Amino acid sequence: MKVAINVSLENEMDLTLAYKKSIKLAEQLGLTVATQTTFATAVSEVCREVIDKAIDGLCSLGVITEDGRFSLTAHITFVQDGNLNSLQAGFSYARKLIPVFDVLIAEQQVTVSISISIPRSARLTPQKLHLIYKHFDDLGPISPYEEVKFRNMELYRINQQKELELIHANYLNDQKNEFLSVASHELRTPLTILKSYVELAIQSAGNQNESLTKYLAKIDLQTIKLQTLIQQLLDISKMETGQADYNYETVDLNKFITESAELIRKLVPNHELKVNLGEAVKVRTDVVRMEQVLNNLISNAAKYSVPGTCIDLETFVAGKEVVVSVRDCGIGMSEETIKRVFDKFYRADEVKNHYNGFGMGLYIASKIIDDHDGKITVESEEGKGSVFRFSIPILPQDTK
């Protein structure tokens, strides 16, 4: 059957709608008023039963064409929920009105077909039928209820589509995270081996071959940079899936900063890293993660400033918190960059073509500080430099 009209069967209003639409279609097909009423009554009798006793009902009205003959037909489908016999009792009245009445059951889906043949006197032709279908296609809703129902169905459809899109986007995101996680794991192993051999080679070269030691130190530095990038890739996927792991311990902050600064100095050989420590305090931190934050802030300070300039690393106590700041005299940032600097993958337009990077470091640093119950902020002026500050809670002095 080619469907001209669909009415979903949910309540009494739909019953009226199914009745009115049956009348309209029968009328357009050239049937007499008596036949229109008979057909519409039979359809609404079945629809009433379906609305009362079944679920997911749908009434489809259209025309079946067979051997050049046409029949006005209603297919009323629903999901059988309970005893079909109780429904069939109600169908008997409709069957008396229209003898061409079939019930087809496939699994739980039931289809009731009601058909009435269109007499030749109606002078229906395929062309005329085509126009009738077009008429119903173009026809707007016949009542405010149908209008609301139509809009609801549209919203439902849009909602379904959005849900599917969301599922798809989440699937792609999961795939991306899994790829990042696997790829960075795989990259980490050979790099760790490479780094061990470079360290061994530096030791073996000792002081005997100065230029060789210099080259090896450069390889070592680049290996550390590569390790940091791979760690960032791994962290992004972990942080997205909420799987970032922390090993918190109680730490003397000044001692930790002094030791970290020694290691990080190696990464910024062309800058002078000045450390200025405030009052000694204890903090609860994951030292590996915290070193990652310092590493990122100090490497950025070096990357985005001219070689030979200073980077200041300071700590000071502010109430119940300790503040750590990293200041550079570099290129600084625009207002727009200041706003977005902690966003994932954000990189200022000005730096994209001149400086390497992925825009992951500050996003990860901000997550780590968040997870330490802390706060990270930035102040910056274009052409003058930037200062990044993060604060974390201080532990009572007697904490072990």
**Cβ proximity of 352 and 299 under 8 Å:** no
In angstroms, give the least distance from the CB of 335 to ligand ADP: 13
34, 95, 103 from 92: Cα distances, Å = 20, 5, 12
Paired tokens of 187:
């990259």
Task: Give the H or E element holding residue 350.
Answer: helix 349-352
- Neighbour count for residue 9 (Cβ, 10 Å): 24
Q: Parallel, antiparallel, or unpaired: how do β-strands 321-328 and 310-318 relate?
A: antiparallel
Paired tokens of 95:
């069957």
Residue with Cβ nearer ligand ADP (107 or 349): 349
What sign does the dihedral 74-75-81-85 (CA atoms) show? positive
Rounded to 5°, the CA angle 230-233-238 comes to 125
In angstroms, give the least distance from the CB of 303 to ligand ADP: 6
The answer to whether 70 contacts ligand ADP (rule: CB under 6 A) is no
The answer to whether 362 contacts ligand ADP (rule: CB under 6 A) is yes
Binding flags for ligand ADP, 273-312, as an x/- string (CB under 6 A): -----------------------x---xx--x--------
Stretch that binds ligand ADP, among 8-16, 30-38, 81-89, 347-355 (CB under 6 A): 347-355
221-230 burial, b if ≥16 CB within 10 A, otherwise e?
Answer: eebbeebbbb
Q: What number of chain residues touch ligand ADP (CB under 6 A)?
A: 23
In angstroms, give the least distance from the CB of 342 to ligand ADP: 8
The answer to whether 341 contacts ligand ADP (rule: CB under 6 A) is yes
Q: Please classify residue 215 by burial: count the beta carbons closer than 10 Å to its beta carbon, then call 0-12 exposed, 13-18 middle and 19+ buried.
A: middle
In angstroms, give the least distance from the CB of 239 to ligand ADP: 13
Stretch that binds ligand ADP, among 49-57, 121-129, 262-270, 361-369 (CB under 6 A): 361-369
Task: Give the H or E element holding residue 175.
Answer: helix 144-205
In angstroms, the CA 294 to CA 388 distance is: 10
Residue with Cβ nearer ligand ADP (251 or 294): 294
Stretch that binds ligand ADP, among 14-22, 144-152, 197-205, 327-335 (CB under 6 A): 327-335
In angstroms, give the least distance from the CB of 331 to ligand ADP: 5
Return the SS3 of 10: coil
Phi-psi region of 6 (alpha: psi -120 to 50; beta: other; left: phi over 0): beta
In angstroms, give the least distance from the CB of 272 to ligand ADP: 16
The answer to whether 359 contacts ligand ADP (rule: CB under 6 A) is yes
Paired tokens of 94:
């409709």
Radius of gyration of the chain (CA): 38
Binding flags for ligand ADP, 241-280, as an x/- string (CB under 6 A): ----------------------------------------
The answer to whether 375 contacts ligand ADP (rule: CB under 6 A) is no
Stretch that binds ligand ADP, among 7-15, 45-53, 94-102, 332-340 (CB under 6 A): 332-340
User: Which one of 59, 230, 328, 374 is in contact with ligand ADP (CB under 6 A)?
Assistant: 328
In angstroms, the CA 159 to CA 348 distance is: 36
The answer to whether 113 contacts ligand ADP (rule: CB under 6 A) is no
In angstroms, give the least distance from the CB of 201 to ligand ADP: 29
103, 185, 231 from 182: Cα distances, Å = 56, 5, 12
Residue with Cβ nearer ligand ADP (303 or 375): 303
In angstroms, the CA 275 to CA 291 distance is: 15
Stretch that binds ligand ADP, among 54-62, 122-130, 172-180, 325-333 (CB under 6 A): 325-333
In angstroms, give the least distance from the CB of 243 to ligand ADP: 20
Nearest to 28 by CA among 157, 120, 136, 115: 136
Binding residues for ligand ADP (CB under 6 A): 296, 300-301, 304, 328, 330-333, 337, 341, 346-348, 351, 357-363, 386
